[in-house]
Amino acid sequence: MQMSRSSAIRVVSPDDSNTPAPQQRQHAHGSAEVVAEISAGLLAARPHISPKFLYDGLGSKLFEAICELPEYYPTRTEAAIFARHGADMARAIGAGAVLIDLGAGNCAKAASLFPLLQPAQYVPVDISRDFLTEAVSRLQQRFPEIEMTALGLDFSNGFALPDSVRHGRRLFFYPGSSIGNFSPEQAVSFLRGLRDNAGADGGLLIGVDLIKDSAVLDAAYDDALGVTAAFNLNMLRHLNHLAGADFDVGQWQHRAFFNEEGSRIEMHLEARAALTVRWNGGERQFARGERIHTEDSYKYTRQSFVGLLERAGFSSAQVWTDPSNWFAVIHAQVTPS
Ligand code: AVI
């Protein structure tokens, strides 16, 4: 009979999301730092807000709904690649690794690979600690033989792993093409941070969205049901809550398109009329048609992403794709120094 190990849920940073905002201006619920960050973005010559503010409670649910949309191919395409090539991936990786799952959410993607990967320790990392705590306790019952150590932290700006994460062979797992939400330069420095935490025999298993027909890309980020539009517009409610802003969601519209030169989908919120927005400590007038840039989602070729991995200190890349070459799952190892 297998013995159950206890799972340690370590909460490293707080989650400041979840409360819906009324339309009128109100008290700021974000920290002074968060309000300052939002304020600087809104006052910039080209207004911009970090995509991390897309994810309050409702934003996370809307993103889950996006993953179900027929137009949003990345989720199902990546799942099909894992289903078809998971055994090959497991052979390349080897059993008994310390599996560190970045942005784990409900842990479902990693869990589907447990029977193949047979990790010695599973370390899901996610900013939303409540979600993680629930998911891990359920998972621990299904896989009592795997030690589980959940970390509630924001890893997007770099991090150091606590001592509770074993120093065995570490494998970072970063599926879902979330790497595309960094610029290529940011991606290189983020991946270098993973390499530094991975150890000499460490590796990376990562999902990457590939360049394809721009009509397919445009539809994936501007779906017929308007779920992605709601996901983008919901950021304004979140800003009302965090910064005490008075955004009127009905005065804004979703814009998303593939910027071929930049090799990225850009998401913006566009003012439908001339208007003024006020928030705690600031205000700005927007002309009709003026935009707030909310997200980039970079798309790569296999070669360009392998080149980026090499710059970050990973080599021996093995690439698995779907028959249409829309998405890639890549395993790479830390380059020996
Ligand atoms: C989380 N990330 C990988 C998604 C993407 O495709 O860039 C976020 C998203 N934005 C709009 N739709 C999905």
Mind listing the pLDDT tens digit for each residue in 170-179?
999 999 999 9
Pocket of ligand 1 (CB under 6 A): 66, 74, 176-178, 180-181, 221, 228, 295, 297
**What does the pLDDT read at residue 256?**
98
Other C-beta atoms lying within 10 Å of the C-beta of residue 24 = 9
Question: Which residue has the least CA distance to atom 1 on ligand 1?
Answer: 178
Of 321, 306, 85, residue with least CA distance to 212: 321
- Rounded to the nearest angstrom, the distance between the alpha carbon of 95 and the centre of ligand 1 is 31
- Rounded to the nearest angstrom, the distance between the alpha carbon of 55 and the centre of ligand 1 is 11
The dihedral over CA atoms of 12, 13, 14, 18, expressed in degrees to the nearest 10, equals -110
Residue with tokens 């003026």: 290
Structure tokens at 204: 């990376």
Instruction: Out of 71, 127, 174, 181, give the residue to mutate to test ligand 1, the one with the largest number of ligand atoms within 8 Å of its CB.
Output: 181
The dihedral over CA atoms of 315, 205, 143, 116, expressed in degrees to the nearest 10, equals -70
Residue with tokens 């003012």: 271
What are the residues whose beta carbons fall under 8 Å from the beta carbon of 304, sequence distance 6 or more? none
Instruction: Out of 297, 298, 326, give the residue to mutate to test ligand 1, the one with the largest number of ligand atoms within 8 Å of its CB.
Output: 297
Question: Which residue has the least CA distance to atom 7 on ligand 1?
Answer: 297
**What does the pLDDT read at residue 12?**
44
CA angle 17, 19, 23 (to 5 degrees): 120
- Rounded to the nearest angstrom, the distance between the alpha carbon of 31 and the centre of ligand 1 is 26
**What does the pLDDT read at residue 25?**
57
Task: Report pLDDT digits (tens) over 229-264.
Answer: 999 999 999 999 999 999 999 999 999 999 999 999
What pTM, to 2 d.p., does this model score? 0.91
What residues of the chain score a pLDDT lower than 50?
Answer: 1-23
Give all strands (DSSP E) within the chain, no chain letters: 8-11, 98-102, 121-126, 147-152, 170-174, 203-209, 252-259, 264-271, 275-279, 282-286, 291-298, 314-321, 327-334
